[in-house]
Amino acid sequence: MTVSSRLVTVLALLCLAGCSQDPGIVVDLRTNLLAGVDFQEARFHVEGAESATEAELHTVRRPVNTSDGRDIRLGEVVPLPVGRYTVIVELWTSFETRVATNRVSVTVDRLTAVTVLITADCAGVVCPGVGDSPESTYCLAARCVPQECRDDPTAPGCPEPECTSDGDCSAVAACAQGRCTGGACYVEPLDERCGSGATCHIERGCIEAPMDAGGTCTPGACDDGNPCTDDVCGAMGCEHTANSGPCDDGMFCNGADTCSGGTCAAHAGSPCGGEMCSEGAQTCAACLSDADCPADSMGMFTACVFDDVCDETGTRSRDLTTWACDTGACRPTVTPQPEACTRDTDGVGCGMDVPGAWGACDYADLCDESATRSRTVTRYACAAGACASSAVPEMEPCTRDTDGTMCAPDDTAPWGACDYSDVCDQSASRSRDVTRHSCAAGSCRGTTSPESEPCSRSTNGTTCGTTTYGGWGVCGYTSVCDQDATRSRSVTMFSCQTGTCRSIGGSESEGCSRSTDGLDCDDGAYCNGDDTCGGGSCTHAGDPCGGGTVCDEPNDTCWDYGDDGTNCYAAGYYNVGGSLPPPPAGYSHYSPPVGCDYEGCTAMFCQANYCMPCPGGNCALCL
């Protein structure tokens, strides 16, 4: 059967082949607690879940030991009326301490098998707990939840999933494995990981398991449930010796019963002598009145039933058997007689210790090698009928090896100067003292040592000598009127190159200035007049020719127009420059009409002191 991780109860409704078809309940237990070690007895109660008159119909007790394994058949209750019931399974120690409990509701309309799984994380959990809803009667992953959560973890009111894969679940012991099923973790003990004769305990690991015979056993774990054997834990394991004590085989008419050969096999014979014995009525003689029937008898009390391990008030019951004469036969009536019972549970453990996380070790300083650390352990014990927690401090020593651990910043002296040999040297070194602090034998100690490093620099272009200068040259004026110029001289400088001082030749210039205003100059032109310097340029006095004359630049002379056309030749007229008076309208000094051959057109004449060209560019008009 595959068990859902941490699902405390799995119900399988089936008809058991080969068994009675009367409605009833067969109760099985599955647990990852170790039978015979964590608990020595399993008990179950079958109670009516819907009718108060059906409360606690049956209680069955089943001694267990390690040989019972993980799946244990606790017993059956048959027949039962069709209806809905609650099965409550409890695990007890041999010292009458309840270890764990869980319950499940089931509808019975046939012979029904109920497997109740109780996990270690539900030990000491009583459902519903303080603050839980009344419906939270089922223990899942150490929490009280509604019954619906055992089959559908996503049902309303169920807690968030505890895991999504096996990797989310862990186990303390190496022989156990964390499983995730249905969103809850379940620690599965794997006995095959232990050696021969050992069993897996999910917290203690592989342990030597108690056995029914041979090997070792645990006192109180050898009861085989047979009243005809004396059960002891001997040197060779559990020993079961046949006895001859009284017993009861459930039959009335075979008389008193005695153990023989380990079974209830010896009987005294009919208690009725010569009279008829009625097994159904469990009586011998016929009767006329109730007075002829056996006297009332009171049975033995059952064990006290408490709600949980801390409960100090419980109930127990015994059966009162009364007889009445019915149609000539004495017939019994059995009436349960409940009564209250008490016990003192103060100090009884009611849960597993829950250790908190260890605090930090209180080392005095970085080099300290001895200290202590503490944590708080929550312990659960009964007090005044309830499970109470108490915080108990716990301490343990801490040790460590700090030798060589840096315990303070280095004390570093300033670097010394780099020992360059000269101004051009590019490679050198420098040094300083460094004190380093480290732990030794629990104390912080310093060690001083020198430290050096190379120096480098680029000295290229660094001046390494005195610059020398040559004499100044002449100022380079460009003309007689020029007032600004420059002059230069040679310069020899000394600078570092690849670590060596070298000379570099060059030159430098500076400006010159002078005043040339009023000095004579000559621009080579005649018609602009006399030339003199002014403002650094050659200036001109103006046209040297008087009125009525024309300045002839090519011939450096002045001439007049004349009235006879003497000077009215084409080349002379059109090359005299810009000193002429404005010509008459329709004529130009500079641009002869296109198409006129003035060299050939000589019949020109003067009018109003102007040489008149051929009108309209037609030389024929001039001839």
Check residue 225 and give its pLDDT: 66
Identify the residue whose tokens are 């606690």.
56
- Concatenate the DSSP letters of all residues of 33-73 into one string: S-BTTTBSEEEEEEEESS-GGGSS-EEEEEE--GGG-SEEE
Q: Fill in the DSSP letter of residue 290.
A: G
* pLDDT level of residue 618 (50, 70, 90 thresholds): very low
CATH of domain 9-163: 2.60.40.10
Residue 103 gets the label, from left (phi > 0), alpha (psi -120 to 50) or beta, of beta
Cα–Cα distance measured from residue 328 to residue 155, given in angstroms and rounded to the nearest whole number: 60
Average pLDDT over residues 314-333: 85
Average pLDDT over residues 601-623: 40
Cα–Cα distance measured from residue 536 to residue 554, given in angstroms and rounded to the nearest whole number: 28
Average pLDDT over residues 18-34: 79
Cβ burial, residue 515 (10 Å; 0-12/13-18/19+): exposed
Mean pLDDT, the chain, rounded, equals 78
Cα–Cα distance measured from residue 332 to residue 322, given in angstroms and rounded to the nearest whole number: 5
pLDDT at position 612 over 70: no
Cα–Cα distance measured from residue 185 to residue 354, given in angstroms and rounded to the nearest whole number: 18
Cα–Cα distance measured from residue 232 to residue 238, given in angstroms and rounded to the nearest whole number: 6
251-274, pLDDT tens digit by residue? 777 788 888 877 887 888 878 766
Q: Fill in the DSSP letter of residue 358.
A: -
Q: Which residue intervals of the chain bear CATH 2.60.40.10?
A: 9-163
Average pLDDT over residues 157-184: 88
pLDDT at position 512 over 50: yes
Check residue 9 and give its pLDDT: 34
pLDDT at position 593 over 50: no
Please give the span between the terminal C-alpha atoms of the chain, in angstroms, as a whole number: 147
In the sheet that holds 500-513, the strands lie side by side as 468-469, 484-497, 500-513
Average pLDDT over residues 582-604: 42
Q: Which of 17-26, 157-166, 250-259, 505-514 has the lowest average pLDDT? A: 17-26
pLDDT at position 522 over 90: no
Cα–Cα distance measured from residue 501 to residue 499, given in angstroms and rounded to the nearest whole number: 7
Q: Are 417 and 453 in contact (CB under 8 A)?
A: no
Q: Which residues contact 73 (CB under 8 A, 6 or more apart)?
A: 26, 27, 28
Dmax over CA atoms of the chain, in Å, equals 207
pLDDT at position 80 over 90: no
Q: How would you classify the pairing of strands 24-31 and 111-118?
A: parallel
189-213, pLDDT tens digit by residue? 998 888 877 889 998 888 875 544 3
Check residue 57 and give its pLDDT: 60
| 0.75 surpassed by pTM | no
83-120, pLDDT tens digit by residue? 888 889 999 887 678 889 998 888 888 999 998 889 98
380-419, pLDDT tens digit by residue? 999 998 999 999 999 999 999 999 999 999 999 999 999 9
Q: Are 2 and 57 in contact (CB under 8 A)?
A: no
Query: Distance of alpha carbon 334 from its chain centroid, rounded?
Result: 66
326-370, pLDDT tens digit by residue? 766 778 899 999 999 999 999 998 888 899 999 999 999 999 999
Q: Pick from 519, 516, 542, 518: which is nearest to 530 by CA?
A: 542
Q: Pick from 132, 104, 99: which is nearest to 33 by CA?
A: 99
Report percent pLDDT > 70 for the chain: 76
